[in-house]
A and B are shown apart, each in its own frame.
Chain A
Amino acid sequence: MTGFRIKNGGLIDRDTSLNFKFDGKSFIGHQGDTLASALIANDVHLMGRSFKYHRPRGVISAGVSEPNALVELREGGRKEANTRATMVELYDGLAAQSQNRWPSLNFDVGAVTSLASSIFVAGFYYKTFMWPKSFWEKIYEPLIRKAAGLGTASKQADPDTYEKSYAHCDLLVVGSGPAGLMAALTAARLGARVILADEGSRLGGSLLFENEEIGGQSGYDWSQSVLAELASLQNVTLMPRTTIFGWFDGNIFGALERVNDHVAVPAPFEPRQRYWRIHAKRAVLAAGAEERPLVFGGNDVPGVMLASAMRHCSNRYAAAAGKSIAIFANNDSSLRTSIDMKAHGVNIAAVIDTRKGGRILNVKGGKGVSYIETSMGKIPCDAVAMSGGWSPIVNLMCHRGAKPIWDEAIAAFKPPDVGAEFTAIGSAAGHMLLSECLAGGARAGTMKSRVPATPKCRDEAFAIQPFWWVKESIGKAFIDYQNDATAKDLPLAAREGYGHVELAKRYTTTGMATDQGKLGNVNAIAILAEASGKSIPEMGTTTFRPFYTPVSFGAFAGPFTGHHFQPVRKTPLHDWAVEQGAVFVETGLWMRSSWFPEAGEDWLASASREVKSARASVGLCDVSTLGKIDIQGKDAGVFLDRLYCNTFSTLSIGKARYGLMLREDGIVFDDGTTSRLAEDHYVMTTTTANAARVMSNIEFAHQVHWPELDVQYVSVTEQWAQMAVAGPKARATLQKLVDKLTLNDESVPYHAAQEITIMGGVEARLFRISFSGEHAYELAVPADFGNAVARAIMQAGAEFGIVPYGVEALSMMRIEKGHVAGGELNGTTTAGDLGLGKMMSTKKDYIGRKMAQRDGLIDPMRQCVVGIKPVDRTMKMRSGGHLLKQSDAPSMQADQGYICSVAWSPMLNMWLGLALFSNGRARHGEIVKVFDGLRGHHYVAEICDPVHFDPKNERLHA
């Protein structure tokens, strides 16, 4: 076959030449070319290899349905596999590689599979590769995996950026052919907010390449004048290079705008692609129709093309596929094709019309057409144009479950009726006459009864007689080109019991390639129907799914990649912590100071020093991440009584109390101290992890369960910077900051919660509570003061050798004290398990009370919190080890519990832990086996009281 550049005409700019490379070889094309058209113009037709048989393949379509001409475009981090050469706009310096071949496209060793193709029928792999068993993973599968797949994806990070955006409109028009243009124009003139989107590089649809006549001008000129008017209107947004890839609930459309794929590298500050979510009050599908291949021997030989694609290439890109072509069709469009191609000086070797009994039995020539064998004998030619009819592009309208409807008259499936929100027009609606397309467009553009007149136009005859398969074919007749599914595979599927259209799809992989059966599915359905003795509508289609065309992951991820995957949440003390040399750790979205190393310290040395200093004199810890919820209203107390399992209505003003919340199923949900600032004003603290969920639960409890209560709540987490000041010198340190208040056990007793001022008027809240077990306070100040106040505390504490301490030290101290936290509040423990059973009030209803009474939740054999320490005190413990009776062999049945939290105790100079242990409170003192198979570490440990350090809490009140 001999493709060539047509001397004149077309929409390419012959004055701008572009250099590009395919498989390392250099070529020249023009502005306005696609990679495919430029290659054809350069007489290159072999562009790819098929999936299973590695057959040589050339371009068959001129658009998104292309199954064969897939290339690896660009290099390095920008390399993309499986890119349709027909959709790639040529740019200077473009570099593309063919794929799925080795060593080269021309000579592909993989092609040997086609020799054994008589074995490699549909589903062959389900029937073999089973013996010997071990061979599957060792030999067969690796071979299959290597052979399968198409292009090779890059493993380097993508250097380009992506964006997301929302759009809203009264009318979304999908497709900018005559129907779409007419709809957009009509609606726009009526003042509606219109979005006109088309996946093509230019708007105009088929008018960019078909010779039509509208309103006395050429179809192309008409389209340009319409576009000019649309562009001038405020209420219209034109979106070329934008594919509507899916239709979703609420009439929301997903769209991909290829902002910079037509250039080598995006301009600075511009994304490569932009993902749109379009909220449309109404939408029209003007997506056009897809031409179907005919199914005959050798219909995959490079040079066999869809007739419309051949017209598209020559009329728009001035790239003729051959010098002498045969036309094979079952409908009137053959006329169009011969007229157009003749006009380009192409010889029409033959027009073979199935309606007149014409058949192509085989196409000869390996990597290009040399001649065809027909019912009338051999005919030499160098390309074949085929037309098997037209399938309206119904995809989007079926994305929400509706099935398309078979129409015998046009031998195609038409879109279903899905309501007024989304209607089809033009050939997408099965209207194959231009006049119908324009009329339908005008009708859709205005929902009113008075429809504006549409310009006069020339209608091409459209008559078709279904023809599905040249049974007498010599050689393979392909249905799904990319997956190498042949016409014979479908009857085989039916024969073996896979006759349901969905089973046949899965068994033969028909329609599962990157083109999703855009070309082949209807042929497949027809052949399957015949083989199963059913009609086409009885057989029906497979399910249409997003994405209409594949969408890059990058577009869906948008800017939320790498470090920007999720927002960073910083505490009000962040700057202070940085000054103090903090090492930070991700805690949910928060960044928390984890430890504050001095020169040469690792985390353990640092945290141990922090603990020792805090317990010896005083330390400062940022606890701002704790959830804080302002709860007000005259029923605030009653409300809290229902949220917590213990009582808060009786809490006296100026006091804090530790509270425990259950879920309705009786399991512990969250804990924290809640303080009463006034008769009708409480402030609740939650754990960092559960802050958001607690807030939602509060809202649910009030708005759903007890709306009669007069209570208001709002998160004040971010309003307050909160600092724990702990240690024997905590009081002395804080004394220096507080305004005219002497801190002592009378003025600020244990569990006091007071609103005070510090540093000459800064409002603050002072809580005398302790997580560390030390004499401690929590001081809250408005967030913007946080850094300054923290610095002031450090200054005040300097004389005592105050240290900042982080969450590592915090957790060492809480484990020394046996305070439960995340490791124990794991969503499966009860108040009893945590040793807090006594907190559960019996005087009131509260969330979780009833379900907490179930046998399984009060069973004494449940695992409850105990302390644990290695018998060999010098040994390191790790969390996650399971506990066994010394006499028992390892097994799940014998499992007695596990270690939830461990820490090195700087005070006791040993590793300590908290464990959940069956009937644990009754078993203090027992020696157990710790099973840590994961790290191959088994040892014995002693179960003990969870409070390892200062059991009498003397330090707390010191």
Chain B
Amino acid sequence: MKYSLFSLLKNSLSGHKNWTPAWRSPEPKKEYDIIIVGGGGHGLATAYYLAKEHGHKNIAVLEKNYIGSGNVGRNTTIIRSNYQLPGNNPFYELSMKLWEGLEQDFNFNAMVSQRGVLNLCHTDAQRDAFARRGNAMHLDGVDAELLDREAVREMYPFFDYDNARFPIKGGLLQRRGGTVRHDAVAWGFARGADLRGVDILQGCELTGIQTENGKVDGVQTSRGAIKCKKLALCAAGHSSEVAAMAGLKLPIESHVLQAFVSEGLKPYIEGVVTFGAGHFYVSQSDKGGLVFGGDIDGYNSYAQRGNLPMVEHVIEAGVAMIPSLARVRALRSWGGVMDMSMDGSPIIDKTSVHGLYLNAGWCYGGFKATPASGWCYAHLIAKDEPHKVATAFRLHRFRTGHMLDEKGQGATPNLH
């Protein structure tokens, strides 16, 4: 059933009794051409684009819990394409372009809101780094503006400019950056994929990978064995676990990142802002809550929760940036399991096992990538060659020394 104001009115007359499920809950088939592991944003987007762009019909998405139960359903929803390395920027810009047409494309309002992403800087060195990054963006025609202190004050007069330990010197602004309603992304892709015949199997956990002389030919799941020709891993924080089922060891550590939401408030902060002298970024959900986060807790974790020191660390930075926040209350905190890669950049690649594909290593930056990740992963799976904007995301880069390290932190996952 197409979603529109009209269908909404029509259904209201029948007391909304006639809405059909946004996606079916089918029983697993015996066999699929392609099985995607992970009903998060990337897995569902991959299924959607495989069906829509590459005409594949016989696809299943395995989700061990409910769709969106992973990071897509618990992230701070910031989208941007302000990267500086040639291997990254074209990919993230493709993602931004896909966001810009997504809702009409999959007929679901995901509240894509290009309200602007502002990164603050507090030292000359930071400003220089922003200049390098902003110009890299301009090289490919991506929008970026370098703001001075007064321009920032203009936008956000209630930040701390006069009593700050680390005075705000300016910022890098991408106006096309913004936020997207996280759950709706999973739901929109799921509905779009389901409409095109994809089986979304919730409560279906991958427990084993069947290989036949170096080639994938099926999986074990909590809902039984299923055969498949191609198997696409897309399990984010659990990537190491599922890859290990095929004997692969990844350049990834799982870490917990916490996020928070405040009580609902009338419009308080217009766009997305990240603090440059501590770990804090914030935006306001359409519902009114201030959604904010900071750094990962720092220890390996598969628990979707963190501890108090990081709560304090993040909120100290928040109040340092916006003194009036002191009186606002934090409503809820939660965590997500990050697939932190060794150079802070993702992996979209084939593996040494024939027919087994890998999409992982998104760290805490993979939400913005969701459409492009699905788009490029679908391309790789369908055509068996990397999409041209994702050629830098190969697994062998660590062996050849072509790391993609935006932050220059090296092989220390918890510093990316």
Within B19-77, the residues touching A (CB, 8 Å) are 19-25, 66-69, 73
Residue of B nearest to A501 (CB): B66
Answer whether residue B195 sits at the interface, using C-beta atoms and an 8 A cutoff. Answer: no
Once the chains are docked, how many angstroms separate the CA of A87 from the CA of B68? Answer: 36
Within A863-895, the residues touching B (CB, 8 Å) are 878-882, 890-895
Chain B residues near A685 (CB-CB < 8 A): none
Answer whether residue B366 sits at the interface, using C-beta atoms and an 8 A cutoff. Answer: no
Once the chains are docked, how many angstroms separate the CA of A160 from the CA of B319? Answer: 13
Q: Which of A130, A154, A275, A512 contacts B107 (CB 8 A)?
A: A130
Known: A136-B103, A399-B305, A496-B20. 5 other contacts (CB 8 A): A557-B312, A565-B316, A667-B410, A827-B409, A891-B140
Chain B residues near A827 (CB-CB < 8 A): 405, 407-410
What does the 1/0 interface line of B265-289 toward A look like (CB < 8 Å)?
1111000000001100000101110
Question: What is the CB-to-nearest-CB distance from A895 to chain B, in angstroms, rounded to a whole number?
Answer: 6
Question: What is the CB-to-nearest-CB distance from B168 to chain A, in angstroms, rounded to a whole number?
Answer: 12
Q: Are B128 and A126 in contact (CB under 8 A)?
A: no
Q: Are B315 and A879 in contact (CB under 8 A)?
A: no
Answer whether residue B248 sits at the interface, using C-beta atoms and an 8 A cutoff. Answer: no
With A546-B332, A898-B132 known to touch, is A556 a contact of B312 (CB < 8 Å)? yes
Answer whether residue B8 sits at the interface, using C-beta atoms and an 8 A cutoff. Answer: yes
Q: Interface-forming stretch among B110-118, B215-223, B231-239, B375-383?
A: B110-118
What does the 1/0 interface line of A503-531 toward B look like (CB < 8 Å)?
10011010011101000000000000000
Q: Which of B107, B112, B128 contacts A879 (CB 8 A)?
A: B128
Q: Are A550 and B266 in contact (CB under 8 A)?
A: no
Once the chains are docked, how many angstroms separate the CA of A677 from the CA of B413? Answer: 38
The 3 closest A-B CB pairs, nearest first, are A827-B408, A880-B131, A149-B288
Chain A residues near B167 (CB-CB < 8 A): 586
Chain A residues near B139 (CB-CB < 8 A): 882, 890-892, 894-895, 931, 933
Chain A residues near B187 (CB-CB < 8 A): 126
Answer whether residue A108 sits at the interface, using C-beta atoms and an 8 A cutoff. Answer: no
Once the chains are docked, how many angstroms separate the CA of A697 from the CA of B408? Answer: 17
Q: Are B263 and A150 in contact (CB under 8 A)?
A: yes
Residue of A nearest to B319 (CB): A557
Q: Which of B115, B287, B303 contacts A149 (CB 8 A)?
A: B287
Answer whether residue A7 sits at the interface, using C-beta atoms and an 8 A cutoff. Answer: no
Answer whether residue B97 sits at the interface, using C-beta atoms and an 8 A cutoff. Answer: no
Q: Are A553 and B3 in contact (CB under 8 A)?
A: no
Q: Are A277 and B305 in contact (CB under 8 A)?
A: no
Q: Interface-forming stretch among B204-212, B345-353, B355-363, B395-403?
A: B395-403
Q: Are A547 and B331 in contact (CB under 8 A)?
A: yes
Q: Are B326 and A162 in contact (CB under 8 A)?
A: yes
Answer whether residue A502 sits at the interface, using C-beta atoms and an 8 A cutoff. Answer: yes
Instruction: Give the size range of B's interface with the partner.
Output: 35 or more
Q: Are B109 and A153 in contact (CB under 8 A)?
A: no
Return 26 A-B CB contacts under 8 Å, by A number: A81-B265, A119-B9, A126-B3, A126-B109, A136-B109, A148-B288, A149-B288, A150-B288, A157-B326, A158-B323, A246-B308, A252-B307, A497-B24, A545-B334, A553-B319, A561-B319, A568-B165, A587-B123, A664-B411, A851-B401, A880-B133, A890-B139, A892-B90, A932-B131, A933-B134, A934-B146
Answer whether residue A500 sits at the interface, using C-beta atoms and an 8 A cutoff. Answer: yes
Q: Which of A249, A401, A550, A855 contacts B263 (CB 8 A)?
A: A550
Chain B residues near A136 (CB-CB < 8 A): 103, 109, 111-113
**How many of A's residues come within 8 Å of B, CB to CB?**
124
Q: Are A854 and B399 in contact (CB under 8 A)?
A: yes
Question: What is the CB-to-nearest-CB distance from B123 to chain A, in angstroms, rounded to a whole number?
Answer: 7
Residue of B nearest to A561 (CB): B319
Question: What is the CB-to-nearest-CB distance from A494 to chain B, in angstroms, rounded to a whole number?
Answer: 9
Q: Are A879 and B132 in contact (CB under 8 A)?
A: yes
Q: Are A880 and B128 in contact (CB under 8 A)?
A: yes
Question: What is the CB-to-nearest-CB distance from B193 to chain A, in angstroms, rounded to a whole number?
Answer: 13
Q: Are A935 and B308 in contact (CB under 8 A)?
A: no
Q: Are B264 and A150 in contact (CB under 8 A)?
A: yes
Q: Are B318 and A553 in contact (CB under 8 A)?
A: yes
Q: Are B165 and A553 in contact (CB under 8 A)?
A: no
Q: Are A663 and B410 in contact (CB under 8 A)?
A: yes
Once the chains are docked, how many angstroms separate the CA of A157 from the CA of B162? Answer: 12
Within A90-148, the residues touching B (CB, 8 Å) are 100, 118-119, 121, 124-131, 133, 136-137, 141, 144-146, 148
With A121-B16, A152-B265 known to touch, is A496 a contact of B165 (CB < 8 Å)? no
Question: What is the CB-to-nearest-CB distance from A872 to chain B, in angstroms, rounded to a whole number?
Answer: 20
Once the chains are docked, how many angstroms separate the CA of A157 from the CA of B23? Answer: 48
What does the 1/0 interface line of A532-569 toward B look like (CB < 8 Å)?
00000000000101110011111011101111111010
Q: Are A882 and B326 in contact (CB under 8 A)?
A: no
Within B89-113, the residues touching A (CB, 8 Å) are 89-90, 101, 103-104, 107-113
Once the chains are docked, how many angstroms separate the CA of A440 from the CA of B108? Answer: 53
Q: Are A149 and B264 in contact (CB under 8 A)?
A: yes
Once the chains are docked, how many angstroms separate the CA of A443 from the CA of B266? Answer: 48
Q: Are B278 and A565 in contact (CB under 8 A)?
A: yes
Once the chains are docked, how many angstroms separate the CA of A545 from the CA of B330? Answer: 12
Within A287-320, the residues touching B (CB, 8 Å) are none
Chain B residues near A554 (CB-CB < 8 A): 319, 325-327
Chain A residues near B202 (CB-CB < 8 A): 500
Q: Are A880 and B130 in contact (CB under 8 A)?
A: yes
With A828-B405, A935-B146 known to touch, is A503 a contact of B25 (CB < 8 Å)? no
Answer whether residue B249 sits at the interface, using C-beta atoms and an 8 A cutoff. Answer: no
What does the 1/0 interface line of A701-720 toward B look like (CB < 8 Å)?
00000000000000000000
With A556-B315, A556-B316, A828-B405 known to touch, is A129 a contact of B109 (CB < 8 Å)? yes
Within A890-905, the residues touching B (CB, 8 Å) are 890-895, 898, 900-901
Question: What is the CB-to-nearest-CB distance from B26 to chain A, in angstroms, rounded to a whole number?
Answer: 12
Interface centre among A564, A879, A892 (most CB of B within 10 A): A892
Residue of B nearest to A894 (CB): B139
Q: Are A934 and B144 in contact (CB under 8 A)?
A: yes
Q: Are B327 and A141 in contact (CB under 8 A)?
A: no
Question: What is the CB-to-nearest-CB distance from B367 to chain A, in angstroms, rounded to a whole number?
Answer: 16
Q: Which of B188, B287, B333 contacts A509 (CB 8 A)?
A: B287
Residue of A nearest to B160 (CB): A562
Chain A residues near B263 (CB-CB < 8 A): 81-82, 150-151, 514, 550
Once the chains are docked, how many angstroms separate the CA of A890 from the CA of B305? Answer: 45
Q: Are A557 and B326 in contact (CB under 8 A)?
A: yes
Residue of B nearest to A557 (CB): B319
Chain B residues near A506 (CB-CB < 8 A): 68, 73, 183
Answer whether residue B250 sits at the interface, using C-beta atoms and an 8 A cutoff. Answer: no
Q: Are B136 and A892 in contact (CB under 8 A)?
A: yes
Q: Are A881 and B324 in contact (CB under 8 A)?
A: no
Once the chains are docked, how many angstroms separate the CA of A826 from the CA of B4? Answer: 51
Once the chains are docked, how many angstroms separate the CA of A433 from the CA of B128? Answer: 68
Q: Are B23 and A497 in contact (CB under 8 A)?
A: yes
Residue of A nearest to B312 (CB): A556
Residue of A nearest to B93 (CB): A892
Q: Are A128 and B109 in contact (CB under 8 A)?
A: yes
Once the chains are docked, how many angstroms separate the CA of A890 from the CA of B267? Answer: 40
Q: Are B286 and A141 in contact (CB under 8 A)?
A: yes
With A130-B103, A151-B265 known to touch, is A563 a contact of B163 (CB < 8 Å)? yes
Answer whether residue A462 sits at the interface, using C-beta atoms and an 8 A cutoff. Answer: no
With A557-B316, A854-B399, A880-B132 known to touch, is A401 a contact of B305 (CB < 8 Å)? yes
Chain A residues near B73 (CB-CB < 8 A): 506
Answer whether residue A400 sits at the interface, using C-beta atoms and an 8 A cutoff. Answer: yes
Residue of A nearest to B402 (CB): A856
Once the chains are docked, how many angstroms separate the CA of A248 from the CA of B167? Answer: 34
Question: What is the CB-to-nearest-CB distance from B181 to chain A, in angstroms, rounded to a whole number?
Answer: 8
Answer whether residue A254 sits at the interface, using C-beta atoms and an 8 A cutoff. Answer: yes
Question: What is the CB-to-nearest-CB distance from B106 to chain A, in angstroms, rounded to a whole number?
Answer: 10
Once the chains are docked, how many angstroms separate the CA of A582 from the CA of B344? Answer: 40
Interface centre among A136, A399, A828 (most CB of B within 10 A): A828
Question: What is the CB-to-nearest-CB distance from B216 to chain A, in angstroms, rounded to a whole number?
Answer: 29
Answer whether residue A332 sits at the interface, using C-beta atoms and an 8 A cutoff. Answer: no
Q: Are B4 and A128 in contact (CB under 8 A)?
A: yes
Answer whether residue A450 sits at the interface, using C-beta atoms and an 8 A cutoff. Answer: no
Q: Are B123 and A586 in contact (CB under 8 A)?
A: yes
With A153-B324, A553-B329 known to touch, is A890 a contact of B138 (CB < 8 Å)? yes
